[in-house]
A and B are shown apart, each in its own frame.
Chain A
Amino acid sequence: MQTVLSIAFDGIAYGMVLFIISIGLSIMMGLMRVVNLAHGAFAMIGGYLASYAMRGLGMNYAIAIIAAVIGTIVISIPFEILLYRRIYRKSDALGVANFLLGPTLKSIPLPAALSGPMDIGFRMVPTHRIFVIACGVIVALLLWFLIEKTEFGVRLRASVDNSDMADSLGIRTEWIYAATFALAVGLGAFGGVVGAELMPIEPYYALRYIVTFLVVVSVGGAGSIVGAIAASLLLGFADTTGKYLAPEYGEFFFYLVVILIVFMFPRGLFGRAH
């Protein structure tokens, strides 16, 4: 019973972290048709900035998170202007360009003080898990509200459905894409900071976890919030259960579930046909 409970709790918490980070990737993939393989790097930068802000500058946790998210977005702006803008919606360039940022950024030198998981300022681990779950739920609700109910969301969906038509109706698609990119990067950074307890920030973070994020997005269906939640929770459970019950198999069960889902739902659990 104790094991079942801790599996359930850890599974949900892990799933929520996966969700917060992956939803940014999912939005970019579903809306801009860009497979941003550097997304993990942005989550990693967020983690580093937060840990620097807390340890180096002595900020408290909440301010450090905000600083990290804003800092990561600022860092990502040159990449958006120089690189990503060229490849939006060109499915030929699918991801290839973006992969390159992954290995670029992973070699940030790591001070010894940061190599462990971050101390997030709560005394008990379960408190942190609850915090992560709450963050996941809030992110999901806010995103749903943003995309479905606001003016920005309307413009965004218009740009996605028909970019040229949206352009001629006076919507600045370029700005919409830039804002969405910033949103995606910010979410990645936020997830990287919040989830640092479960996915420790380290120099190979970007490369190690991007595979996981990509898998979550694909299983959920690119661009779908509900899909991303479902996939994150499902895969979070699969991974946690596998690691609790058969730790020597590593990520075997996680990827077994992935293969099964891809075979049953090639477009993802809640994917739309393009």
Chain B
Amino acid sequence: MNAFSKSVTMRFESFPFAQEMLGILSIGLLGLIGYLIFPDDLAFLTRLISVSLLVLSLDLVTGYCGVATLGQAVLYGVSAYVVGNAALAGIADPILLLIFGMLAGILTGLISGVLIARFRGLPQLVLSIALGQLVVALCNKLSSLTGGSDGLAGITPAPVFGIFSFDMYSRTAFVFSLTILAIVFVLLLRFVRSPFGLLCRGIRDDDLRVQMIGARVYPRLVIMYGISGAVAGIGGALNAITAGVVGLDSVGFERSAEALVMLVLGGANNLWGALFGSIIFQIFGHYVSSINPFHWLTLVGLLLIVVVVFVPRGLSHGVAVLWTKLIGREARL
């Protein structure tokens, strides 16, 4: 929770589901602002939403459980490939495809969790990288399923609920993705405050103590990985459905690393941080790369260095501190 949401919820504490309503309202508002700023580039916003789901999923394992991973894009990309193959096999209903993607994500997440959650620290990080690269090499090799380096093209989903068909201006795709994001985000807001979510935070802070109070760490991390896989899987499925193409970049190391950077930018261990980090990073990248296509990464890097040096715990924490200074009231994170 960031300071803003906290202070608002403090005022409306008697309100049932205040957090959830705030989540829906903010995402709706952000969607509206996005629509007004980029009316001609809804495809970009749709991609942004898909990637922010990946960042949210990364926040679940990295921010809430302290798992160091640079292989999160595997969950995202594998599910995108599964959805692509399902669509090419004749399943056209977007909701069904989304469910397929989610299931694929859960399965991939559980498998990665079983392997990655066994370790801590550097071995964990390297294992996640190695798994990611292994999957990339496999995706490249199994070109009958993935299209190899050409990618998987020609995914044409049917209209949503049989009514709203996917148009070339990405209007349907945008609203569809935004709705999915809102639903997932609200569910996650609830989930991270559940006893399970709180125990996961405990694991991140001190796994020995969690063991001392009688909870087993490893199975919980694996389950959390499965849930994270569901979120990443939905993101990957959205990507496949709305873009119509799945490429090798969606499983690659660069995607994982970018997601981690977005999370750090916004502030880990905070769903709002993950959301705003991914939005800010991608919009900044979008603008800067259109102004200067050659050196835009340098500028993005400079932004990140500035953020890490001055607000090391992410922008959402910086906002919280600022809020405390302005309002004079303690903003608890």
Contacts and interface: CB of A to CB of B under 8 A. Distances in A.
Nearest to B133: A255
B55 to A, nearest CB: 14
A82 B302 contact: no
A94 B70 CA distance: 13
B129 to A, nearest CB: 5
A255 B253 CA distance: 13
Interface string B121-163: 1110111011101101110110000000000000000000000
B123 A255 contact: no
B98 interface: no
A138 interface: no
A116 interface: no
A258 B127 CA distance: 8
B260 A215 contact: no
Q: Which of B136, B141, B253, B297 has the most CB of A within 10 A?
A: B297
Interface centre among A82, A103, A219, by most chain B C-beta atoms within 10 angstroms, is A103
B294 A107 contact: yes
Given A222-B122, A249-B137, A259-B127, A82 B309 contact: yes
Nearest to B70: A211
Nearest to B306: A100
A46 to B, nearest CB: 19
Interface in A26-68: 29, 35
A214 B137 contact: no
Contacts of B297: 103-104, 106-107
A259 B308 contact: no
Nearest to A218: B126
B151 to A, nearest CB: 16
B302 A107 contact: no
A109 interface: yes
Contacts of B126: 214-215, 218-219, 258, 262
Contacts of A103: 257, 261, 297, 300-301
A267 B308 contact: no
B254 interface: yes
A97 B254 CA distance: 16
Interface centre among B70, B131, B254, B301, by most chain A C-beta atoms within 10 angstroms, is B301
Contacts of A215: 126, 129-130
Nearest to A219: B126
A262 B127 contact: yes
Interface residues of A, number: 41
B305 interface: yes
B304 interface: yes
A192 to B, nearest CB: 19
Contacts of B260: 96, 99
B298 interface: yes
Contacts of A268: 123
Interface string B237-271: 00000000000000001100100110010000000
A100 B261 contact: yes
Contact of A252 (B122, B134, B308): B134
A250 interface: yes
Nearest to B122: A218
A100 B308 contact: yes
A76 to B, nearest CB: 14
B304 A218 contact: no
Nearest to A267: B123
Given A86-B309, A104-B297, A250 B130 contact: no
B11 interface: no
A215 B123 CA distance: 9
A218 B300 contact: no
B296 interface: yes
A96 B305 contact: no
Interface string A59-92: 0000000000000000000000011001000000
B309 A83 contact: yes
Contact of B308 (A96, A106, A222, A258): A96
B119 interface: yes
B296 to A, nearest CB: 7
A262 B304 CA distance: 31
A256 interface: yes
A119 interface: no
A266 interface: yes
Counting chain B CB atoms within 10 Å of each CB, the highest count among A35, A100, A105, A254 belongs to A100
A239 to B, nearest CB: 11
A101 interface: yes
A30 to B, nearest CB: 10
A88 to B, nearest CB: 14
Contact of A259 (B68, B122, B131): B131
A18 interface: no
A251 B133 contact: yes
A262 B130 CA distance: 10
9 contacts: A96-B308, A103-B257, A104-B304, A214-B129, A218-B122, A252-B138, A252-B141, A256-B134, A258-B126
Interface of B: 68, 70, 115, 119, 121-123, 125-127, 129-131, 133-134, 136-138, 140-141, 253-254, 257, 260-261, 264, 294-298, 300-302, 304-305, 308-309, 312
Interface of A: 29, 35, 82-83, 86, 93-97, 99-107, 109, 207, 211, 214-215, 218-219, 222, 248-252, 254-256, 258-259, 262, 266-268
- A-B pairs, top 5 by smallest CB distance, nearest first, are A104-B301, A218-B126, A252-B137, A100-B304, A258-B130
